[in-house]
Chains A and B, each alone.
Chain A
Amino acid sequence: MHTALIQLINVVAILLFVVFGAALLTWVERRLLGIWQDRYGPNRVGPLGSLQIVADMIKLLMKQDWVPPFADRLVFIVAPAIAMFVVVAAFAVIPMAPGIGVIDLNIGLLFFLAMTSLGVYAVMFGAYASDNKYALLGGLRAAAQMVSYEVFMGLSLMGVVMLAGSFNLRELVLAQADGWFIVPQFVGFMIFFVAGIAESHRTPFDLPEAEHELTAGFHTEYSGMKFAMFFLGEYVSVLMTAAMITVLFLGGWLGPAWLPPLFWFLLKTTLLVLSMILIRGALPRPRYDQLMAFGWKVMLPLALINLLATGALKLM
């Protein structure tokens, strides 16, 4: 009974943390982009503008729940739900600190990879159901991009798995007690970082929604809460990628004992999120063929070489 209650609190707290964290992230990102572009960003609602998310939420909730008459109704409605579901489900396996985490799966890493792979369905369904040229082009790009970046995203993590000898994320963190995996697996870290940004399709890998060419890409026809779900899904997946990098390469909650483990986890995750926002603010979007060439001709060979080298070193 007691453990069940604790687990329930855990689940609810983490769900709220994820959703509100992602909502807050929209404000943080806009403020930071503003600061880096020598302006202020949203600073009017509430202290420093932090209540902007409330205003945005009210606005999106009040909007008409509109399904275009030419859309494939069922798929159109299901797509944003998938987008939200897969990222939140993937968050479930992330161990935040000893005793904090929704579920402790033996194959947590595989579950994470599976869930991020499912994310492509949200984009594809949304694009297909919209019956819109821009959406279709966005969906095509998203499918190609996510499929090709998935390949080496998985491969880049296998080096870590090899070193720790486990797919369990908690054990992966504990295996880093005497040295974070970012040092022996720096290449893996870089590749996963790039793939993570591509998976959450953010600039410079935001070709599926490239505003300048495709209006809004796969979510062109979406508005109101359904749009918000896509949007929030993207931000949750940013958080998720950052948390995953923390767990896999930066020693998760490990850190000097004078602060609680959860603090270390959140600190590392926050720094990673900030760096992802910086990348969004600074780097331009490549052309579509450049993106594919980069994935298949640079990242995939790098990931394979990294895997090979790690295996060889492990055997020696």
Chain B
Amino acid sequence: MLQRVLHISYLIWDYLYSNLLTLWTVASHTFSKADTVEYPDQMPYLAPRFRGRIVLTRDPSGEERCVACNLCASACPTDCIALQKTEDETGRWSAEYFRINFSRCVFCGLCEEACPTYAIQLTQDFELAEYQRQNLVYEKHHLLIDGPGKHPDYSFYELSGKAVSGRAKGAGKLEAPPVDVKSLLP
């Protein structure tokens, strides 16, 4: 009997204590600072690798980096990149049109990872809202920026060993002259 009474009193104390502790914990937050970032008035912190609006960059000499290889389009899980290759008289490839439909893009960054020329890059801009859905389809002139973005010194044609007019194979900065395989014959 006594044990029962003790047990029940313990239970009552336990319930009361845990509830009062909860109340106290919540009440003590009256004086703690709010975690809210009041966004339009105050910019939230964005991580350096934040993935936002996509841009097409240029190489250090100001040429378009994109070589229209279509790797980004095939990596894109939502199929929202569309482009067409064209070739200029120097033999350089570039995109005739380059279209990203931001109403379908999920900002996964796979296009950036797939790109062999660092042309396509994601930026920290996330304020893309539009009143009309059609306005979310960005064409090449919307996407192309003037600078190199990340990797400012990278230039695909200097490193790739591809000949374009004005520069032969192996003339790039870090390239070795091409090996004449026939000279290796015994």
Contact = CB atoms under 8 A, between A and B. Distances in A.
A282 B25 contact: yes
Interface residues of A, number: 12
Contacts of B29: 35-38
A279 B36 CA distance: 23
Interface in A246-283: 278-279, 281-283
Interface in B7-51: 19, 22-23, 25-27, 29-30, 32-36, 38
A279 B25 CA distance: 11
A38 B34 CA distance: 4
Given A282-B22, A283-B19, A283-B22, A36 B27 contact: yes
A247 to B, nearest CB: 24
Contacts of A38: 29, 32-36
Nearest to B26: A282
Contact of A40 (B25, B26, B38): B38
Contacts of A283: 19, 22-23
Contacts of A39: 34-36
A115 B19 CA distance: 31
B23 A40 contact: no
A35 B32 CA distance: 8
A36 B30 contact: yes
Contacts of A34: 34
A184 B47 CA distance: 61
A40 B30 contact: no
B30 A35 contact: yes
A303 B83 CA distance: 78
A186 B79 CA distance: 69
A282 B34 contact: no
Contact of A278 (B27, B34, B38): B27
Interface string A29-62: 0000011111110000000000000000000000
Nearest to A43: B38
A19 to B, nearest CB: 28
Contacts of A279: 23
A35 B33 CA distance: 8
A209 B6 CA distance: 37
Nearest to B22: A282
Given A282-B22, A283-B19, A283-B22, A40 B27 contact: no
Nearest to B30: A35
Nearest to A279: B23
A38 B30 CA distance: 8
Contacts of B25: 282
Interface string A208-233: 00000000000000000000000000
Interface of A: 34-40, 278-279, 281-283
15 contacts: A34-B34, A35-B30, A35-B34, A36-B26, A36-B27, A38-B29, A38-B33, A38-B36, A39-B34, A40-B34, A40-B38, A279-B23, A282-B22, A283-B19, A283-B22
Q: Which 4 residue pairs spanning A and B have beta carbons closest together? A: A282-B26, A39-B36, A282-B22, A36-B29
Given A35-B30, A38-B29, A282-B25, 5 more contacts: A34-B34, A35-B34, A36-B26, A40-B34, A282-B23
